């Protein structure tokens, strides 16, 4: 991954980058004031550094962009084109831009047609990120990123990333430092403690620690530039990758009789197309059953099952002897290791070629364990909501829709947790009767109504006459 630091369009930032020998510099044409009295020479202006040209997302001055690119095309390494610009005449230097998160199909079109694309930070989110990764793998596309978010940079296999946040150390007093595992950013309110914490990292990067503590702009900006370049160097040489190992060095000069492996060249084309299937299909080799293994994290456990049997008389009897059956369990083990983990640059327990130092001993066998796991999830979600609320206050830009979604998710989890914990029995009858038969007759039988209307004891004729004589005689007019 190559990191191109932006700022080549402004003299202050440009001098800082040149003083630190930045190999790649990005120049934003939107913010660059083209001199009218003299001709600009990019090699002289940027001291021979690789130049990547791009524009701001809202720039509509296509004439300025086209004129500058055509004038300096020979001195430009890459041109990130606008969404309304056709730069096919630039050949391999042209990198079409995708910046619309709602039009992912355009990114698929660019990856298929050009085999490369530039992606703006405004189009990268949790929904589009998996699709971007899928399209990159599908078409083998080369991606250029315009972002300064560390998590986004680490989530994709970028060819080049244009970073502009390093200028925040000059504008807002931030502290940015590479600690050997990741790039750390601290706001101005925490600069004293952050710089003291990273004293050794600052010295290791060759920056005067006392000048950084005094807030010297040159020292702090030098620290930021060197930190980003250190991340670039680590991504190229520091991280372990199987392709970086010299496993095939012994075949560089094969002796007589040896078999030399030759890696075929990968053809590159401006308009790549997917490869077709071969006519000759090699049959699948059968694997012996003894070579099959369980998936990592999965285990089998033998338990004794006592089935319930029904006797000829209709009685249910539990089998006391039982049967041994195998059930699937989670054993918590895995194959994750530090050399292949995407969190390696920031993990405090990173050790090269060592299995993961952390484990998640989850076991849900009883109601108490299930209740504890659900409670832990609720606590984590509540913590996320509170932290998002804190971030919303710091941003001061109105209500955050993501925070509202997390709050709704929390209430849904609470409601679901309540339903799981509810053990009450509820029986509800709803019946609609039509015709002469009553509801009770339909439910409990034909004689249910007769039994309900029947007297508890027989009534004699004398008692019946007395009831009639004691009854109030109603006037016909009432």
pLDDT digits (tens, 9 = 90+) for 438-471: 555 555 555 655 666 666 667 676 776 666 666 5
CA distance 13 to 448: 94
Query: Can you tell me the mean pLDDT for 5-32?
Result: 90
* H or E element that contains 25: strand 24-28
Instruction: Read off the pLDDT of residues 178-209 as tens digits, 9 standing for 90 and up.
Output: 988 888 999 999 989 999 999 999 999 999 99
CATH code assigned at 127: 3.20.20
Q: State the average pLDDT over residues 214-221.
A: 92
Burial class (CB in 10 A: 0-12, 13-18, 19+), 70: exposed
Q: Which of 188, 216, 238 is where one domain is finished? A: 238
Report pLDDT for 478.
47
121 part of a folded domain: yes
- Picking from 113-122, 239-248, 399-408, which range would have the lowest pLDDT averaged per residue? 239-248
| pLDDT of 278 | 44
Report yes or no on 87 lying in a domain.
Answer: yes
Model pTM above 0.85? no
Give per-residue pLDDT as tens, 45-59: 888 899 999 988 878
**Residue 145's pLDDT band (cuts 50, 70, 90):** very high
Q: Which residues contact 150 (CB under 8 A, 6 or more apart)?
A: 182, 183, 185, 346
Q: What is the pLDDT of residue 249?
A: 44
Q: How far apart are CA 58 and CA 418, in angstroms?
A: 48
41 is in which domain, residue-wise? 2-238
pLDDT band at 251 (very low <50, low <70, confident <90, very high): very low
Per-residue pLDDT at 220: 93
- Strand 94-95 versus strand 97-98 pairing type: unpaired
Counting residues of the chain whose pLDDT is more than 70, the rounded percentage is: 77
Average pLDDT over residues 266-277: 46
Weakest-pLDDT range from 119-128, 324-333, 403-412: 324-333
State residue 59's pLDDT score. 80
Is 283 part of a structural domain of the chain? no
- The confidence score (pLDDT) of residue 393 equals 86
What pLDDT, on the 0 to 100 scale, is given for residue 455? 62
b/e per residue 168-195 (b: at least 16 CB within 10 A): bbbeeebbbbbbeebbbbbeeeebeebb
Residues 30, 177 within the same domain: yes
Output DSSP code: residue 46.
Answer: T
Number of separate domains in the chain: 2
Per-residue model confidence (pLDDT) at position 239: 45
CB atoms within 10 A of CB 11: 10
Residue 260 lies in a domain: no
| Residue 117 domain flag | yes
Last residue of a domain, one of 403, 421, 439: 421
Choose one of 197, 220, 238: the last residue of a domain.
238
pLDDT score for 402: 85
Residue 449 included in any domain:
no
d(CA 379, CA 373): 10
User: Looking at residue 267, what is its pLDDT?
Assistant: 47
Domain contains 412: yes
């Amino acid at each position: 991954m190559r990191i191109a630091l932006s700022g080549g369009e402004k003299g202050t930032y440009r001098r800082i980058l040149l003083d630190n020998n930045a190999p790649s510099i990005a120049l934003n044409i939107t913010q660059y004031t083209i001199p009218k009295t003299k001709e600009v020479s990019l090699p002289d202006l940027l001291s021979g550094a690789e130049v990547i040209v791009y524009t701001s997302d809202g720039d509509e001055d296509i004439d300025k962009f086209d004129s500058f690119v055509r004038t300096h095309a020979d001195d430009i390494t890459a041109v990130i084109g606008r969404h309304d610009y056709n730069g096919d005449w630039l050949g391999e230097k042209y990198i079409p831009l995708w910046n619309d998160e709602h039009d992912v199909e355009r990114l698929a079109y660019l990856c298929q047609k050009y085999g490369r694309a530039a992606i703006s930070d405004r189009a990268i989110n949790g929904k589009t990120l998996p699709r971007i990764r899928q399209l990159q793998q599908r078409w083998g596309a080369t991606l250029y990123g315009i972002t300064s978010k560390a998590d986004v940079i680490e989530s994709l296999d970028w060819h080049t990333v244009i970073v502009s946040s390093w200028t925040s150390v000059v504008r807002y007093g931030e502290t940015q430092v590479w600690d050997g595992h990741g790039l750390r950013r601290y706001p101005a309110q925490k600069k004293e403690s952050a710089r003291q914490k990273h004293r050794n990292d600052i010295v290791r990067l060759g920056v005067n620690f006392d000048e950084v503590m005094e807030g010297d702009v040159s020292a702090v900006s030098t620290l930021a530039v060197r930190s980003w370049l250190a991340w670039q160097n680590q991504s190229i040489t520091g991280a372990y990758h199987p392709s970086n190992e010299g496993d095939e060095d012994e075949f560089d000069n094969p002796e007589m009789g040896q078999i030399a492996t030759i890696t075929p060249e990968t053809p590159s084309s401006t308009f790549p197309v997917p490869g077709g299937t071969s006519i000759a299909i090699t049959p699948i080799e059968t694997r012996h059953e003894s070579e099959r293994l369980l998936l990592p994290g999965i285990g089998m456990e033998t338990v004794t099952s006592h089935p319930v049997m029904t006797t000829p008389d209709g009685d249910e009897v539990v089998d006391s002897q039982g049967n041994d059956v195998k059930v699937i369990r989670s054993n918590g083990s895995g194959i994750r290791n530090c050399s292949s983990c995407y969190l390696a640059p920031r993990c405090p327990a990173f050790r090269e070629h060592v299995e993961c130092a952390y484990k998640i001993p989850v076991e849900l066998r009883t109601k108490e364990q299930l209740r504890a796991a659900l409670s832990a999830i609720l606590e984590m979600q509540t913590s996320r909501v509170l932290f998002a609320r804190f971030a919303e206050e710091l941003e001061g830009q109105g209500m955050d829709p993501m925070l509202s979604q997390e709050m709704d998710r929390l209430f849904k989890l609470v409601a679901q947790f309540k339903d799981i914990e509810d053990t009450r029995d509820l029986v509800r009858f709803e019946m609609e009767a039509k015709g002469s038969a009553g509801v009770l007759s339909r439910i409990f039988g034909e004689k249910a109504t007769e039994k309900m209307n029947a007297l508890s004891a027989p009534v004699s004729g004398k008692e019946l006459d007395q009831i009639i004589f004691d009854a109030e005689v109603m006037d016909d007019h009432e």
